Homo-oligomer: A and B are copies of this chain.
Amino acid sequence: MNMAIYSGIMSPYSIPSSNVDHSSNQPAEWELAVIDLFINAAQSAGLPKSLGQIYGLLFCRDDALAMDEIIQLLSISKGSASQGLRSLRQLGAVNSQYARGDRKERFVAEIRLRKLVAGFLKEQAEPHMEKGITRLEHLRELLSEEEDGDSKARGKRRETILSSWHRQMGRILPWVKMIVGKSDKLPK
């Protein structure tokens, strides 16, 4: 860690006045508001709070942050930070860098909405569509085993509806990506 800064003779809390320590600046009020905004966004997207928190912090900063800085700034545990960052990376919401001569991995937020949406769809929506196919097949199997009668006929009608829904939902995803993709560069 930053032994040079915190250990030794210097009192633990003294900050070299000439050298502002960007990384452990406590979040400004507006940053806390942004973090809060992302906490809410995450939760409404069915993602854990800590994901929103971490992403929000990184979103606010210009410089990449290391894990220990994130832990300190957000007062979260090592475990949450590690797992949270892994999920965010998987979602494509965070990218990591290695500064040369530095052992720490540092993280920056992906701020292109297109990428964020694409990652979310790929990780969240697509798996469900996949699972949907399997389930529909299972349903067809069960129906084929059913003895002829009202129930079976009714089941077949339902299977038709579900297939149609599945098809239509599948159509939406590419469109969403496309619409968000447009004007990714901030318009003015």
Seen from chain A, the residues whose Cβ lies within 8 Å of a Cβ on chain B are: 28-31, 33-34, 36-37, 40-41, 44-46, 59-62, 111, 113, 124, 128, 131-132, 135, 138-139, 142-143, 145-146, 151-152, 154-155, 158, 160-162, 164-165, 168-169, 171-172, 175-176, 179-180, 183, 186-187
Contacts and interface: CB of A to CB of B under 8 A. Distances in A.
Task: Name the prevailing secondary structure of the A interface residues.
Answer: helix
A55 to B, nearest CB: 12
| Copies of this subunit | 2
B158 A60 contact: yes
Given A138-B33, A139-B34, A164-B186, A146 B111 contact: no
Contacts of A161: 111, 186
Contact of A46 (B46, B154, B165): B46
Contacts of A124: 44
A164 B187 contact: yes
Contacts of A37: 132, 135, 139, 162
A146 B28 contact: yes
A101 B180 CA distance: 53
A34 B168 contact: no
A59 B73 CA distance: 49
B165 A113 contact: yes
